[in-house]
Structure 1
Amino acid sequence: MSRSIGLAHIIRHDDGTSTGVWGIYTLQSAFQPIFAFKEGKLSITAFEGLIRPFRDGEPQSPAAFFGTCPAGDRLHIEALTRTLHLLNAGACLPEEASIFVNFDPSVFTDRSIADKALRDMRLVLHEAGIDPRRIVCEVTEQRSASQETLYAFVEALRANGFRIAVDDYGADDSDINRIKELKPDIVKFDAQWITQLMESGAGFALLTAMVQSFENQGIRTVFEGIEEGWQLELAEKSGASMVQGYVLARPELAPTSFRMFGKSVQQPPAEMSTASAAVPAPQARSAKAFGRKVAP
């Protein structure tokens, strides 16, 4: 089997996990659970792969790492980070969970580049033992070489059996057009925008209407950045399909403890009522009107 670009920078470990090496940086995968609402309970349904760079053993911010990388290396680094996440997902995540991985459309400037990246990704999925149908490709908001190139790239992802998610949706005109043109399976709502809408009754009504509109189109929704219990309550009331945030679970470096949440566990700790997951408890919300603090 030929080797992908990403595999050339991978170091395997005895516990089954992998790390990446790029110049002076060591790269590790972290995974954050994404929870689905089902009959008043929350259950882990997916994980998002997040890169965690280290320099001389000290953690660095992803932004700092990517800021040091020349533009010409971005395509290779993107391949490396996806490869790392997929190998680690195969080693330490539940076999039924979906896996969200990022794609920066700006690096796929023509179809031949996209085809090569997807061939490499299929090799990695085969090695990791991951069904392509588990993969959700998050298309970030960076600009592509052209709209036609972006649409062709997204269709190539679909042709390989992957699902499509639009990331950081915030209801700007550009966001609405992305939904119309890309026809994603999932929309991830921008965390800051969600918080702003939750701070007023009118904003929450708009949020609920948008969730329902996507639902009517067969598009599932994810609310990102849920950090407080009252946000979790409102997310459920809005009809959001899924939620992600620190109030539920923080990212864990591979190897994670998340494999215990697989089907073999009869009563997984990941399944909880929304009331038990909310922090603070629902009755503590008397000092808030939606998200905005009010005088007692």
Structure 2
Amino acid sequence: MSKSIGLAQIIRQDDASSTGVWGVYTLQSAFQPIFSFADGKLTATAYEGLIRPSRQGEPVPPGVFFANVDGADRLQIETLTRTLHLLNAAAFLPTDAAIFINFDPSVFTDASIAELALRDMRHVLNEAGIDPRRVVCEVTEKKPASEEALFGFVSALKANGFRIAVDDFGSDESDIKRIRNLKPDIVKFDAHWISRLMESGAGFALLKEMVANFEDKGIRTVFEGLEQSWQLQLAERSGASMVQGYVLALPEIVPANFSIYSGQENASGRDIAAAAPHPEPAHVPQARAQRPGRSFGKRTYS
């Protein structure tokens, strides 16, 4: 039988996974691999935690679930989802993989909330046996309720060994000003934005320049939301450190065997050419109208 652990809303299942309960919803963790380039190979070196809600056994789109969460409850949901991801990461992810978890800056209204969030993180990491240096805290694109509280929280996270990522760079709130203020270790480029830049030679040149500027400052870059092989190849040519998207791997709900992505079962890693079996021409691709296919939308979940 399942038994309750830690927070009242978290249940440990017989298969070693942890699930959450929020009203009529059951919450599960899914993880999507993030791959690093090395010598023409792709190996999963990190995983992003994503919530998968369901109601009476039927999946509910994450965006629909979060839209139904009352604003006053958002902080509790943030804590619950982070806790689920960390507990499930400890149970299922390779022990050397980084763990990306999202932080909504709109919930940080004052310093006390930041202090509470940090305390909860320490408690969960201690229970899960995870080194804080494995955890990458993604600051999502939302507008902060208090910039002072957010900056203080990020500083405290860094002081405690966590790494910081700015998510959706190029969207409304994740701009260069946020990069200067937060001084992240990693920048994740907005999927729609990079797709548009990749459509022209001038745009791709600008993309390469931005990647180079970040890398020169010691900031690693992630291209997320990649769905097609030509995007993957251009991501490698741009100099991006890491890539993420459906062209490589879908998010998988725990329990799942994630070691197949990490090289533990495939020591040579994944060949970029194999991941993109129908390569585009060597030049920058032409307009989207000549390349049918859906684009990967922005995430609306944590």
Q: Normalising by the residue count of structure 1, what TM-score does the alignment of the two structures yield? A: 0.91
Match of 1:75 in 2: 75
* Compared CA separation, residues 255 and 200, structure 1 to 2 (3 A): same
Match of 2:270 in 1: 272
Query: Contact 1:287–1:293 at 8 Å: present in 2 too?
Result: no
Distance 2:140 2:287 in 1: 27
Match of 2:299 in 1: none
Query: Contact 1:82–1:102 at 8 Å: present in 2 too?
Result: yes
More deviation in 40-49 or 253-262?
253-262
SS at match of 2:8: helix
Query: Contact 1:287–1:294 at 8 Å: present in 2 too?
Result: no
Residue identity (%): 66
Distance 2:264 2:199 in 1: 40
CA offset at residue 7 of structure 1? 2.3
SS at match of 1:257: coil
SS at match of 1:7: coil
Q: Does 1:253 align with 2:249?
A: no
User: Match for 1:81: what amino acid?
Assistant: T
User: Match for 2:250: what amino acid?
Assistant: R
Distance 1:88 1:291 in 2: 42
Distance 2:239 2:264 in 1: 29
* Compared CA separation, residues 54 and 276, structure 1 to 2 (3 A): same
User: Match for 1:195: what amino acid?
Assistant: S
Output one character per residue of 1:33-67: Cα deviation in whole Å (capped at 9) or x when no partner: 00000111100010000000001110001111111
Distance 2:276 2:287 in 1: 14
Distance 1:58 1:140 in 2: 27
More deviation in 50-59 or 148-157?
148-157
User: Match for 2:217: what amino acid?
Assistant: Q
Q: 1:1-296 residue pairs with structure 2 within 5 A?
A: 7-170=7-170, 175-261=175-261, 264-265=264-265, 267-268=266-267, 271-279=269-277, 281-282=278-279, 285=281, 289-290=285-286, 292=288, 294=290
SS at match of 1:47: strand
CA offset at residue 129 of structure 1? 1.4
CA offset at residue 171 of structure 1? 7.0
Distance 1:15 1:172 in 2: 41
Distance 2:141 2:6 in 1: 23
SS at match of 1:289: coil
CA offset at residue 264 of structure 1? 4.8
Query: Contact 1:31–1:252 at 8 Å: present in 2 too?
Result: yes
- Count residues with an aligned counterpart: 287
Distance 1:90 1:157 in 2: 20
Query: Contact 1:10–1:84 at 8 Å: present in 2 too?
Result: yes
User: Match for 1:86: what amino acid?
Assistant: L
User: Match for 1:289: what amino acid?
Assistant: P
CA offset at residue 94 of structure 1? 0.3
Output one character per residue of 1:62-113: Cα deviation in whole Å (capped at 9) or x when no partner: 1111111111000000000000000000000000000000001111211121
SS at match of 1:199: coil
CA offset at residue 174 of structure 1? 5.8
SS at match of 2:7: helix
Distance 1:268 1:250 in 2: 21
Distance 1:6 1:241 in 2: 36
Distance 1:119 1:176 in 2: 29
SS at match of 2:36: strand
User: Match for 2:118: what amino acid?
Assistant: L
Distance 2:108 2:287 in 1: 40
CA offset at residue 116 of structure 1? 1.3
* Compared CA separation, residues 148 and 257, structure 1 to 2 (3 A): same
Distance 1:293 1:31 in 2: 32
Output one character per residue of 1:200-243: Cα deviation in whole Å (capped at 9) or x when no partner: 00000000000000001110000011100000000000000000
CA offset at residue 160 of structure 1? 1.6
Runs of 5+ unmatched residues, structure 2: 292-302
Output one character per residue of 1:170-213: Cα deviation in whole Å (capped at 9) or x when no partner: 17686010011111000000000010000000000000000000
